[in-house]
Structure 1
Amino acid sequence: MRTIKLALLLLMSSGVLMSAASHAAATDEKDCTAVHMAAPGWTDIEATNAMAGVVLRALGYQQTVQNLSVPITYEGLRKGQIDVFLGNWMPAQAPLVKPFMDAHAFDVVQANLTGAKFTLAVPDYVAAAGVHTFADLTQYAARFGGKIYGIEPGAPANQNIKKMIADKAFGLGDWHVVESSETGMLTQVSRAVREKQWIVFLAWEPHLMNTEFHLTYLSGGDAYFGPNYGGATVNTVARSGFMAQCKNLGRLFRQMTFSVDIENQMIASVLRGKVNADAAARKMLSANPAMLEKWLDGVTTISGASGLQAVRASIGAQ
């Protein structure tokens, strides 16, 4: 009888433990259902956020994207208000992110894009007139109006330019940065190109500007933008603890990588083709089944079903 009672007690205890474990798992899953991401207003990150969003929604998650400056994004990661950011451009953002990294405010998940670049550029007719390097700029200061066109205030790339000016590097000590949005900067570039005016501005790839304009990237800015014309790696970063807390999402974001070609195609579809970002993302994912399989290897829906099958069904892929 005692043996039977002991067995019953163990069974009941086991049931309580299993119930508690199930409850804990459900609570963790509930905490992970909403994925908070950030967009600094750059078309490349809007493209990658859109592709990520299609996948997340198909898996049963809710993606929210907040339009935030880069410094505010990292502050959001530190405070736990942002879960994932796909736009950690390195080494351009190195000075900005160092205090956050020292404080363990976020984790670097992985490199989601290699082969990118980010530095100053000029239209090809300016290059043809003799401007090929950072050092060439100063002798044509009057033609450039002593201005370098940047992006939104607070952007790390703008800070790099300001430091270059403060250092009086390349004889640019009396120049200044014109800060604007990405759209505002490119509107200014478009106007200058149309009127064959001289302009020097921040340029990067992937971006539609590389096909919209005939531009030349300037060499010699390694100390401020890194070697190989600001050769960059773009990382996925997540708030501290997110990857451990949300393991299924962690697996997805560890496997989610892009290519310069894919991002350029996405950006072209949205900006040139006037296609909705969600529709462009679905088309891109459907056209790249091998990429999708890599992303979703071992990833499930929020209810535990095959993630790959769910996403394929959502985008109409075979």
Structure 2
Amino acid sequence: MTRFKISTLAVLTLAAAQPALAQDPETCMTVRFSDPGWTDISATNGVAATLLEALGYTADIPTLSVPVGYEALKNGQTDLFLGNWMPAQQEFRTDLDAAGTVVELVQNLEGAKFTLAVNKAGAEAGVADFADLDARKDEFDGKIFGIEPGAPANQSIQAMIEADDFGLGDWTLVESGEQAMMAQVRRNDAAGMPTVFLAWAPHPMNEAVEITYLSGGDAQFGPNYGGASVHTLARKEWVETCPNVAKLFSQLVFDVPMENVLMGKILDDGMAAQEAASEWLADNPAALDAWLDGVTTLDGQPGLAAVRAAIDG
């Protein structure tokens, strides 16, 4: 265990041992954490912001691309990031670990996956593996649909194209945001056009489109169809200064079914992230017990009671 992880553990253990009226200083009121524009992170950020506001804190959540978000965390412009997908973002983690100013608070999701997939027409064309794609290039129009520019997954796809892996050297990566990508996939799906795109779980796309995740991409996305976990990172100095709210984030963990529901509310029902979070929390109040164990409001009052009162309205 590294010195920084030991320090973080000590801080959080100390926070757990504090009496009920121990509280963070007023300087901790505003909690800054970025959103890369991915619905799964918007959903979890929405849950976090809802809890923070009920506890007397303020959430400041700028939308920053993945590379910019990591730089902001490294340089102290933000305090937290709930969207460290591993191993896809290992390069960024390595950089942060070398800087020594950021620590991991918790693995907030397991059972995620992230790799290339095809729609129903793509599967019916006989594509089940990365190696099947190039023989069907014309049917796919030679395009791989990705997410926003600068995302590590896009970089992996571009590197694969540049290296001519699987004979894909003359294919094109089409970069766009998550929602624009899925709109294109839905259009192609309705037209019966084979389509290959970045797909992942949790995400309501798994319900909206018949998806076949492709095997063979272990070198690009990792084994088990890009099997992934998501982690919460925080500035070491912020954890030490704001142990109460840091304790909240060290206990804030999610699961795939929960995130699928939240993301569906946002993408399909048009809810804002905090609106979706409030509705989900009202329907699932038991989740609060573990999240808020030993956590107080900013002014030192019992946190669980405050959040329940805010959700009950």
Q: TM-score, normalised by structure 2?
A: 0.90
Tell me whether 1:277 sits opposite 2:273 in the alignment.
yes
Paired residue total = 292
| Amino acid paired to 2:252 | M
What letter is aligned with 1:57? Answer: E
**Equivalents in 2 of 1:252, 1:222: separation in Å?**
35
Q: How far 1:273 sits from its partner (Å)?
A: 2.2
Q: Tell me the CA shift for residue 297 of structure 1.
A: 0.2
Q: Which residue of 1 aligns with 2:304?
A: 308
Higher relative contact order (CA 8 A, sep 6+): 2
Match of 2:154, as an amino acid? N
Whose radius of gyration is greater, 1 or 2? 1
Q: 1:141 aligns with which of 137, 155, 158?
A: 137
Identity of aligned residues (%): 51
User: Structure 2 vs 1, CA of residues 105 and 153 (structure 1 numbering), >3 Å: closer, same or farther?
Assistant: farther
Q: Which residue among 199, 204, 216 is the counterpart of 2:200? A: 204
Q: How does 1:39-54 map to 2 (within 5 A)?
A: 39-54=35-50
Query: Which runs of structure 1 show a deviation greater than 4 angstroms over 4 or more consecutive aligned residues?
Result: none
- Of residues 281, 290, 293 in structure 1, which corresponds to 2:289? 293
Task: Assess if the C-alpha contact under 8 Å between 1:96 and 1:156 holds in 2.
Answer: no
- The equivalent of 1:247 in structure 2 is 243
Q: Give how far 1:145 is off.
A: 2.0
Match of 1:82 in 2: 78
Question: 1:242 deviation in Å?
Answer: 1.6
Matched, 1:238 2:234: yes
Is 2:221 the counterpart of 1:225? yes
Contact 1:77–1:105 at 8 Å: present in 2 too?
no
Listed as ranges, the matches of 1:46-195 within 5 Å are: 46-195=42-191
Whether 1:263 and 2:259 are equivalent positions in the alignment is yes
Stretches of structure 1 that go unaligned for 5 or more consecutive residues are: 1-24
- CA–CA distance in structure 1, aligned partners of residues 244 and 92 of structure 2: 30
Please report how far the alpha carbon of residue 288 of structure 1 lies from its aligned counterpart in structure 2 after TM superposition.
Answer: 2.2
Contact residue 78 and residue 240 of structure 1 kept, 8 A: no
Task: Determine if contact 2:120/2:194 at 8 Å carries over to the other structure.
Answer: no
Distance 1:221 1:111 in 2: 24
Gaps of 5+ in 2: 1-21
Q: Is the 8 A contact 1:286 1:316 kept in 2?
A: yes
TM-score by structure 1 length?
0.88
Q: How far off its partner does 1:96 sit?
A: 3.4
